[in-house]
Amino acid sequence: MTTPASLVDRHVGFVHALREAGLPVSPAEGLDAAQALMVIDLAERETLREAYAATLVKRPAHRPGFDMLFDLWFPAVAGDGTATAVPEEAELPELRERLAELLMGDPADPAFREFARAMVGRFGQVQAAPGRQSWFSFPVLRALSPETLVARMLAAMLDERGGLPEKVARRHLSRTIEAFTEAVASDVRRRIAEESGVEKIARSAVRPPIDQVDFLRATKDELARLRREVYPLARRLATRLSIRQKRGRRGRLDFRRTVRASLSTGGVPLTTHLRPPRPHRPELVVLCDASDSVSTFSHFTLLLTFALREQFTKVRAFAFVDTVDEITGLFAPGADVLDAIGRLTDEADIVRFGRTDYGHVFERFAERFPDAVGPRTSLLILGDARSNYQAPALGTLKRLAGRARHAYWLNPEPRAQWDTGDSLATSYGSVVPMHECRNVAQLAAFVETLA
């Protein structure tokens, strides 16, 4: 039984680990979680998990990281191995046969995770370096190879192959194989945490929430998830913007209607009438660095910009590397935005020598598109401000920003890297306010400010 002192320490450590992993947990929410622990049965691990989740997790995207950290800080009690019904001397074919039985059943069965723990203990420890061993998932999955058991399991589950029953069976097996893979990975993390410390494995094993993943460091899977974040983000922002516009609608005094209404009160204007406000939706011009170093960032920002088109009277987009070209036509209504971004580098005239040159870009933009920026325009520049030691053309940028209603610069690099190497962040930031924008959360906060 955990002593009260150690439970408090574990609670504080768990909440701190969640914050370090990027989950927004306030001190008040940490206290709410502590209060919840006083009214549940602490011996029921899944009840404990859900009590923490109910008080600390705000978004579905945060749940995977939360579950991983919960399993590290509150690991399940390892059984004695009897639930697997597999003797220690069992050969690999017998183990695979037992795995097939479990995969056809319910992954919530305690025997399922107990078998995963036993297999990690048998196959998961390998030599990581001379004189040092560690735990890994790969050798376990390579030895048991659950994917190669699918045909055998389908034959056992179905009287006749094909049709809807086979689709349902395959879907079930896909879920149970995924559950077994995660059970193996979870036990590997538990064993490493026991040997190296929970804090160390937590920092290396848990990825930040998807809205806090750096655009420039995202993995292939994270890129796909980030793309799926764009349109829900655009809908949320559009809703907030429309609410703000409705709340803020106060026109100028309608003197004639106010005087007419005062006749019924002896000429005393008890009620004032306002003119309906003129709708104002700004124009948006986007200058987007399309070079390889920031391509991921610019793609997602363009996706969001065109998802928010209805919030602006007009949206024009321009891409550049060392020269600039308009790409608005690629994003015509009904066009596939991802396809348009894929066509960008092939069809747009944006490369002379292939090295980013912001100064030449600003001069060419002012020369080729003199009417693009006007008094109703919000000018948005997207890029890392790294100009390969070329002339910055600050005067041209100042003239462009001076003609615009607003001008903003989003930089995907961490602020600590600004002004290093060939970065002209401070110089350009003195002309156009520059904002750090490394992830979806920062991008969302900026777009709210922009509107």
Tell me the average pLDDT across 249-272: 74
Cα 127 to chain centroid distance, Å, stands at 35
Cα 90 to chain centroid distance, Å, stands at 44
Q: For 32-56, how does the pLDDT look when each residue is reduced to its tens digit (9 = 90+)?
A: 999 999 999 888 888 999 999 999 9
Q: For 122-173, how does the pLDDT look when each residue is reduced to its tens digit (9 = 90+)?
A: 898 887 667 677 888 899 999 999 999 999 999 899 888 888 889 999 999 9
What pLDDT is recorded for position 189? 85
Tell me the average pLDDT across 85-95: 78
What pLDDT is recorded for position 1? 40
Mean pLDDT computed over every residue of the chain: 83
> Which candidate, 450, 23, 379, places its Cα nearest to that of 237?
450
Q: For 383-438, how does the pLDDT look when each residue is reduced to its tens digit (9 = 90+)?
A: 999 999 999 999 999 999 999 988 999 999 999 999 999 999 999 999 999 999 98
Identity of the highest mean pLDDT range in 116-120, 133-137, 232-236, 334-338: 116-120
Tell me the average pLDDT across 247-275: 73
> What residue type is 23 in one-letter code?
L
Residue with more model confidence, 230 or 17: 17
Residue 329: CA atoms inside 13 Å, Cβ hemisphere, count? 4
Separation of alpha carbons 265 and 269, rounded Å: 7
Residue with more model confidence, 336 or 110: 110
What pLDDT is recorded for position 2? 42
pLDDT band at 237 (very low <50, low <70, confident <90, very high): low
Residue 28 tokens, joined: 């008040």
Strand order in the sheet with 283-289: 324-326, 314-320, 283-289, 377-382, 406-411, 434-436
pLDDT band at 275 (very low <50, low <70, confident <90, very high): confident
Task: Quote the percentage of the chain above a pLDDT of 70.
Answer: 88
Separation of alpha carbons 404 and 362, rounded Å: 14
Separation of alpha carbons 333 and 153, rounded Å: 48
What pLDDT is recorded for position 227? 77
Separation of alpha carbons 109 and 399, rounded Å: 69
pLDDT at position 315 over 60: yes
What pLDDT is recorded for position 424? 95
Question: β-strands 314-320, 324-326: how paired?
Answer: antiparallel
pLDDT band at 252 (very low <50, low <70, confident <90, very high): confident
What pLDDT is recorded for position 414? 92
What pLDDT is recorded for position 243? 57
Q: For 334-351, how does the pLDDT look when each residue is reduced to its tens digit (9 = 90+)?
A: 677 677 777 887 788 888
pLDDT band at 5 (very low <50, low <70, confident <90, very high): very low
> Which candidate, 396, 428, 393, places its Cα nearest to that of 413?
428
